[in-house]
Amino acid sequence: MLIRLLLLVAFLQVEGVKIYTEEELLGKINPTSHSDFSLVPSEFCSRSGIYLRSEVLDKFIVLRQLAEEEGIKLIIVSGTRSFNHQKDIWDRKWTKPKYMGWEKIEKAKDILTYSSMPGTSRHHWGTDFDLNSLENNYFDSGEGKKVYDFMERCGGEHGFKQVYTSKDGGRTGYEEEKWHWSYMPVSSVMLNQYNELVCISDIRGFDGSEVADSINVIGVFVNGIAE
Ligand SMILES: [Zn+2]
């Protein structure tokens, strides 16, 4: 394992690919003090205190300007989330009274409809963000449809992609999220490195982590993205 890892690191360095740490891939960082992250200006967000990787924010600013020229407002409602932030979300759902008496595995699968286990979220990476609304039907008409159509038409050429698409094509994992966009030039590198560096035994430190292996959370969810 160690030799494989050292070979991979050597290969990536020769290729000039940035190497991410296991902590970065698992969200065990603080974006407010990490030199690769920037605070998103509050006028781009629904609330203050949202961070993205600086290169992702730079591209988003270009895209947002283009949208604005068409009278469309792109508003970030969530960006980078640390492991602890995701753990708060997970724990809040895990302890909901509606799950009283549920088997752990069924409870975890139900939460995983839309929410990630801590350590497995793309929001840890600073490459992904949620736009405008967390309801798919918002994007079916009116302002929401304009936002979605704009992102479909112009997002790709700037590196942005909807990763949680309809599951009709056989994609596994989370349900469709029309609000979640990823900056692929960075996130695809991070996903490759995640698959090399992170094992299921690294997904721990929260209630419910004991079923991560049975659910195959890395195979089915972390890798359950659009082709
Ligand atoms: Zn999201």
Distance between Cα 19 and ligand 1 center (Å): 24
Distance between Cα 11 and ligand 1 center (Å): 31
Tokens 């449809």 map to which residue? 145
Q: Hey, what amino acid is at 131? A: L
Distance between Cα 128 and ligand 1 center (Å): 7
pLDDT of residue 14: 67
pLDDT of residue 1: 65
How many other C-beta atoms lie within 10 A of the C-beta of residue 213? 13
Distance between Cα 181 and ligand 1 center (Å): 7
Quote the CA–CA distance of 180 and 123 in Å, as a whole number. 10
Strand order in the sheet with 180-183: 76-78, 128-131, 180-183, 160-162
Distance between Cα 6 and ligand 1 center (Å): 32
Task: Please report the domains of the chain, with CATH numbers, ordered by start residue.
Answer: 2-222 (3.30.1380.10)
Half-sphere exposure of 205 (CA within 13 A, CB side): 16
- Give the mean pLDDT per block of 10 residues along the chain (227 residues): 72 80 97 97 95 98 98 98 98 97 97 97 98 98 98 98 94 97 98 97 98 98 96
Distance between Cα 179 and ligand 1 center (Å): 7
Task: Enter the pTM of the model.
Answer: 0.94
Quote the CA–CA distance of 148 and 195 in Å, as a whole number. 30
